[in-house]
């Protein structure tokens, strides 16, 4: 698109497969984000995503949208969010896509506040939740406790990525500080927190994505028998 190298087949896949750490992943993610030049680009991407999900047999999806990224690349967040919403509404018969507002962790709690400011100023029925991705080493989950409380007060479900790069301690903190965490379970042992907190949060685990980044070598031939993925289930938790 726009003459970018990713228009060449295999170029993006080669860059993705070369990622070895969070710096490389975030650099590639930022490069992809800069390909979006207008709200119409966001609408095209949203419509294409819904069509692809529907073709794959997915009936319902919750899709992260990051308004602060729009602002960082020089676009107004509100029209971009509205464009995504309109595209999802137009393609709902293919796949019912809802929106999770995303804040970027390494941009701090102030960025999270701006995301929620946008939602309060322009509430959209298709927005069902609020979450956080980004560099786990930048800010602890506890720094966002106030924004998570605000999101819940606004009626939004909440989620947080954890363990993607820092491992089990990041997962433990997320379980203590924010509801419905979405950890990558490499080395994590969330079962102790499920037992300690007297409730079972849903855990959204993605072990295969970690294996694809060549960071998890414990899935030979897809064998999950000794993987941390099973620990929440053994503790009575639920997985998504």
Pairing of strands 160-162, 157-158: unpaired
Residue 169 falls in the annotated catalytic set: no
DSSP state of 227: S
CA–CA gap between residue 152 and residue 176 (Å, rounded): 16
The H or E element that residue 72 is part of is helix 67-72
How many other C-beta atoms are found inside a 10 Å radius of the C-beta of residue 16? 14
| Spatial CB neighbours of 105, under 8 Å, sequence gap ≥ 6 | 132, 133, 134, 135, 136, 138, 139, 144, 161
| Active-site entry in 62, 136, 164, 173 | 164
Tell which residue, 166, 199, 198, 158, has the closest CA to residue 185. Answer: 166
Exposed/middle/buried for residue 12 (C-beta within 10 Å: 0-12, 13-18, 19+): middle
Q: Which residues pair with 157 in a beta bridge?
A: 129
Residues designated as active site: 164
């Amino acid at each position: 698109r726009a003459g970018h190298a990713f228009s060449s087949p295999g170029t993006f896949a080669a860059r993705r497969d070369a990622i070895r750490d969070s710096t490389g992943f975030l650099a590639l993610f930022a490069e992809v984000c800069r390909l979006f030049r207008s709200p119409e680009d966001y609408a095209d991407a949203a419509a294409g995503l819904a069509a692809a999900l529907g073709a794959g047999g997915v009936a319902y999806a919750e899709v992260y949208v990051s308004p602060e990224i729009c602002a960082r690349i020089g676009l107004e967040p509100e029209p971009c969010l509205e464009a995504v919403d309109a595209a999802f509404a137009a393609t709902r018969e293919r796949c019912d896509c809802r929106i999770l507002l995303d804040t970027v962790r390494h941009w701090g709690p102030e960025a999270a506040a701006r995301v929620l400011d946008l939602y309060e100023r322009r509430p959209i029925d298709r927005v069902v939740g609020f979450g956080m991705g980004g560099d786990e080493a930048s800010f602890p989950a506890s720094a966002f406790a106030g924004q998570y409380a605000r999101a819940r007060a606004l009626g939004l479900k909440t989620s947080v990525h954890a363990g993607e790069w820092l491992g089990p301690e990041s997962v433990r903190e997320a379980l203590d500080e924010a509801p419905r965490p979405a950890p990558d379970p490499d080395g994590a042992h969330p079962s102790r927190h499920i037992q300690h907190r007297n409730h079972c949060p849903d855990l959204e685990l993605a072990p295969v994505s970690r294996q694809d980044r060549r960071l998890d070598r414990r899935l030979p031939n897809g064998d999950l028998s000794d993987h941390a993925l099973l620990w929440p289930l053994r503790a009575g938790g639920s997985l998504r």
